[in-house]
Amino acid sequence: MIVVGVGGGSGSGKTYMCSRIEEKLPEKTLIFSMDRYYRPFKDKDEFERKQVNFDLPKALDWELMKEHLGKLQEQEKVMMPEYSFEKNTRVGHTEVEPQEIVLVEGIHALHDEELNQLMDLKVFLDPDPDVRAVRRMKRDIAERNRNPEFAARQYLEKTKQAHHEHVEPTKQRADLVLDTDQANRFIEAVTQKLREDEASDAEDLHRFAKEKV
């Protein structure tokens, strides 16, 4: 199993990258989305849950993430949470099986040292900040049922500061820092490598990715 961490700010293209890799290698890939691992906040009512700053690392259930990723590496199935961003809590679980390639993606993918140690390759996506902001607000309006005013206020009051304090510093832990064009080349190169060379290991992939982007 090869575990790739994909970090970067909200709207940087993490989900797009992972989805494209999964589309090209559907029988080999599992997307381990950190968005599934926000805490359920069962002690809060719906209004209180909407006030939670989901851009902060403390909003995530780190212990469960590390437990599940560790089990997948041991070739065990896990019950991955289903998270609703309309209700801001967990709404069920889905059983998933280990795959040859596990893509751990989230704004804080490179935040936790113990989680990083489980990764074979760490990637940080770093497009223009204005591009990230527009993508983030469009997504929140279209996919998370936020009104435009709320989406803009949330970005300006919470997301922007959290990015500078907690996400941007994790760039230093990345093996590769990619802008949008480089990210697209990474997708094509890595999927071609893994499709053509089934014996490719983590070290081989690491070297190949650096050469191609």
**Domain residue ranges of the chain, discontinuous segments joined by +:** 2-212
Tell me how far CA of residue 28 lies from CA of 70, 85, 172, 192, in angstroms: 18, 28, 29, 13
Instruction: Look at residue 23 in the predicted model and tell me its pLDDT.
Output: 94
**How confident is the model at residue 94, as a pLDDT?**
95
- SS3 sequence, the chain? CEEEEEEECCCCCHHHHHHHHHHHCCCCEEEEEHHHHECCCCCCCHHHHHCCCCCCHHHECHHHHHHHHHHHHCCCCEEEEEEECCCCEEEEEEEECCCCEEEEECCCCCCCHHHHCCCCEEEEECCCHHHHHHHHHHHHHHHCCCCHHHHHHHHHHHHHHHHHHHHHHHHHHCCEEECHHHHHHHHHHHHHHHHHCCCCCHHHHHHHHHHHC
Q: What is the pLDDT of residue 158?
A: 77
Fold of the 2-212 domain = Rossmann fold (3.40.50)
Instruction: Give, for all 213 residues of the chain, the pLDDT tens digit.
Output: 889 999 999 888 999 999 999 999 998 999 999 999 999 888 888 788 878 888 899 999 999 999 999 999 999 999 999 998 888 888 999 999 999 999 999 999 999 999 999 999 999 999 888 777 777 777 777 777 777 777 777 777 777 888 889 999 999 999 999 988 888 888 888 888 787 766 666 677 777 676 767
Looking at residue 51, what is its pLDDT?
81
